[in-house]
A and B are shown apart, each in its own frame.
Chain A
Amino acid sequence: MLAKKTPAREEAPDGGAGTRRDALGISRLSLAVGTGESEIPLLADVTVRVGRGETVGLVGESGSGKSLTARSALGMLPRGARATGGVTVSGVDVLAAGYRELRDLRRTRVSMIFQDPRASINPVRRIGDYLTEGLRARGVPARGAAEQALDLLGQVGIRDPKGAMGRFPHEFSGGMLQRVVIAGALSTEPELLLADEPTTALDVTTQAEVIGLLKEMQRAHGTGMLFVTHDLDLAAAICDRVYVMYAGRIVEESAGASLFGAPAHPYTRALLEASPSVHGGRAEIKAIRGRPRALAEAPSGCAFRDRCPLAGDECAETVPAHRPHGTSLVACLRPEQVTP
C-alpha cells in the first residue's frame, strides 16, 4: 500500500510555492495567554512554510517557541491562548477549524512525533493495537489494518514484526519504540509530519538510524516534515531549509546547507561559535553572554540586543523586519557585519 502513493515531487524543494499547495503554511502567527495587564506573549509574527516533500528545520534554544509553533499546526494551542495570524495545513484553516475537523486532520493528513516515544503510546496497550487503531480510524478494515501494521513494522526495521505486534511498549528500547511511533505516524500517509525533537533522547548511533528511516519514509510518501531540534548540526545536515527562532520569533530563514557557511543573524553565528565540533581543526568556542529568553522577558526592539556583540542604539527602537541577505531572510539591522 505504500507503493501506490504518489511519488515525491522532483522539483527543487524551495520552488513549488505556487503550483501545489503547501503541506504547512503558518503566517504571522502571534500567540498570547492571559489578558490585560497579565497578558504573556508567547509567539510573535511567526511565519513558517513547509512544501510538499520538503524537510524544514526549526532550531533554537529552549523557550524560543519551537514546540509552540509546531503544535499550532495541529491546532494544539496552550489553554486560554489567543492567536492571530493564519495556520493552514493542506488547505485547512486550522485556527478556524472545529473539533471534528481538527480530529480528521490529525487522523489523515498530519502526524506528530515527540521526543519521548513513551509519552505517545498507551503503556497498557499492545503495539499491534496502537498501530491498527490509527489505521482503523482512517477507515481501513480490520484485516487490512493488521496486515498493514505488520508491513509497517518491517519497514521501520523491527525484527519479528509478528511477535512485536503482541508486545507492550515497556518491552522495547527507546530507539525501537520511536521506530514504532514513526511507523504509526506514517501509516496514515500524511502530507505533513511534525517531528518535535524526535531523536533528542536517543544515542547518536540510534539517532542516525532513526533519521535515516524518517528521511527514507518521508521520501517514499512525499511527506513534508517540520523538524524541531536544538541541534544546529542535525538541522543543517538533513533540512532543505532552516528557521532559527529566538525569544518567540523567527530571526533567520536559510537554506540548510548554507547555515554554517554564511549565517546572517548574529545569534545564528553566535550559536555556531558556541558549539564545539568534532569536524575540522580543534577550534576555540565562544560563549554567548546572558541566557536565552522567552518572548515575555525579552528586551524591546531586537530581542537579542542584550546579548548581541553588534548591538547599537537603533537596535532598541523597533523589532527588525525580515529582509533578504545572501541566501537568508534575516531579522537584523546589520547582517552585513555577520557575513558580508
Chain B
Amino acid sequence: MSTGDAMSTGDAMSTGDAVKAPVLSATSLVKRFGHVTAVDDVSFELMPGASLGIVGESGSGKTTTARILAGLEQPTSGTVTLDGRAVEGHSRRARLRQARRLQMIFQDPYGSFDPRQTIAQSIAEPMRLHAPGSRKEHRARVDELLDQVGLSSRAGQSLPRDLSGGQRQRAAIARALGVAPRVLVLDEAVAALDVSIQAQILTLLDDLRRDTGISYVFVSHDLAVVRYITDTAIVMRHGRIVERGETEQILRSPRHPYTRLLLDSIPSPGWDLDRVARDRRALDLL
C-alpha cells in the first residue's frame, strides 16, 4: 500500500545475504530547530549484530540523531532506512512498523513506565501491540524476558517506583526486547547508574547482543563505556561528525583535534591538564 511495501527487497535479503546489508542506515540527516542546526549532514550504517557508538559533548546533537532514528523526530532533510525500507510518515501504521524493528532506551526509564502498572504489565504492553499470541503466551514470554535481564518475578509484580534505577533499566530493556527488534537505540542508558550497576547493565547488553544478534546504536558522552560496548563509533561536534572509525582505533590514535581533546580530558593517573589546555588551543585554531 505505501511506497515502502513495494520495495521490500530488504526483507528478502535479511534471510540470505543478511551480513552484507545494513540493518539501519542514516543518509545526510539534517535537523534544524529554528536557526539552530542540531544535526548537520549525519550519515552512517549499522550492520546486523553490530554496535555503533555516537559520542560527543552535550548539545552536539546525539539525542536529536537518536530520536530521528527512532522516528520520534522528523529530519529536516535526509533519510533513515530500517531493514531495507525508508522510514517515512508519521502515521500510526508507520510508527508501529518502525517500533517492531527498532526500540529506544532512555537515560531515565522512570518516565516511560506507567506508574500505576506493574513492571510485568508494562513489559507485556508492546507485545500486545506487536506480537500475536494469547494472554497466557504473553505472560510466559514476560517471565522469560524478566529472567533474561536478571529480574525476579517479584520485581515483575512491583510498581516502577519500588524498583532501583538499575532494576528499572533492566525492565526497560526487557520491554524493548519483547517485540524482538533488530535494533536498540540507547541514549545515555547507563549514565545515571552507579558504577557497580552500570557494569551489570553493560555486561547484560553485551551478552544479549552475542546471544540474539541484535544491533545497538549506543549514544553516550562516556568514551570508556563506548569503548566497552561498541565496535565502531562516530564523534559528533556541533551537529557534525568530526571523526568515525573503529572505536579502538579512534581511541588509540585520534585524528581530529576534538577527539584528542575529549580523550585527554578524561582523568587518569598522571593527568596532564596543561596538555588539555594545549589541545583546546589547537582546536580553537581550526
The interface of chain A, by Cβ under 8 A from chain B, is 61-62, 203-209, 211-212, 215, 230-234, 236-238, 257, 260, 270-271, 274-279, 282, 285-292, 307
Contact = CB atoms under 8 A, between A and B. Distances in A.
B265 A288 contact: no
Interface of B: 57-58, 164, 166, 194-200, 202-203, 221, 223-225, 227-228, 248, 251, 261-271, 273, 276-277, 280
A292 B269 contact: no
A291 B164 contact: yes
B255 to A, nearest CB: 16
A212 B227 contact: no
28 contacts: A203-B57, A203-B221, A204-B57, A204-B221, A205-B57, A205-B262, A205-B265, A205-B276, A206-B57, A208-B264, A209-B277, A230-B195, A237-B267, A237-B270, A237-B271, A257-B269, A275-B195, A276-B224, A276-B225, A276-B227, A277-B224, A278-B223, A278-B224, A278-B251, A282-B248, A285-B203, A287-B199, A291-B166
Nearest to A270: B196
B194 A61 contact: yes
A108 B58 CA distance: 36
B277 A212 contact: yes
B223 A260 contact: no
A234 B273 CA distance: 12
Contacts of B199: 274-275, 285-288
B56 to A, nearest CB: 9
A35 B241 CA distance: 58
Nearest to A288: B196
B196 A276 contact: no
Contacts of B203: 285, 287
Contacts of B227: 276-278, 282
A271 B197 contact: no
Contacts of A287: 196, 199-200, 202-203
Contacts of A204: 57, 221, 262, 265-266
A215 B274 CA distance: 12
A125 to B, nearest CB: 26
Contacts of B268: 233, 237, 278-279
B196 A274 contact: yes
A309 B266 CA distance: 30
Nearest to B197: A291
Contacts of A236: 267, 269
A200 to B, nearest CB: 11
Contacts of B280: 205, 209
A207 B265 contact: yes
A291 B280 CA distance: 39
B38 to A, nearest CB: 17
A62 B57 CA distance: 24
B269 A208 contact: no
A197 to B, nearest CB: 13
Given A230-B195, A291-B194, A291-B196, 9 more contacts: A205-B261, A205-B280, A208-B276, A212-B276, A237-B267, A257-B269, A275-B224, A276-B202, A291-B197
Contacts of A292: 194, 196-197
Contacts of A291: 164, 166, 194, 196-197
A151 to B, nearest CB: 21
Contacts of A279: 268
A209 B197 contact: no
A287 B195 CA distance: 9
- Shortest 3 CB-CB contacts between residues of A and residues of B: A274-B199, A288-B196, A237-B267
A61 B199 CA distance: 13
A157 to B, nearest CB: 11
A231 B267 CA distance: 9
A278 B263 contact: yes
Contacts of A231: 267
A274 B195 CA distance: 7
A287 B196 CA distance: 6
Contacts of A207: 265
A278 B266 contact: yes
Nearest to A204: B265
Nearest to B223: A278
B266 A233 contact: yes
Contacts of A234: 267
A206 B262 CA distance: 10
B44 to A, nearest CB: 22
Contact of B196 (A61, A209, A233, A238): A61
A208 B264 CA distance: 9
Contacts of B264: 208
Contacts of B270: 237
Nearest to A232: B195
B227 to A, nearest CB: 6
Nearest to A201: B58
Contacts of B267: 208, 211, 231, 233-234, 236-238
B228 A276 contact: yes
B269 A215 contact: no
A289 B195 CA distance: 12
Contacts of B228: 276, 282, 285
Contacts of A285: 199, 202-203, 228
Contacts of B198: 274
B224 to A, nearest CB: 4
Nearest to A205: B265
Contacts of B196: 61, 270-271, 274, 287-288, 290-292, 307
Contacts of A288: 196, 199-200
A233 to B, nearest CB: 5
B200 A208 contact: no
B164 to A, nearest CB: 6
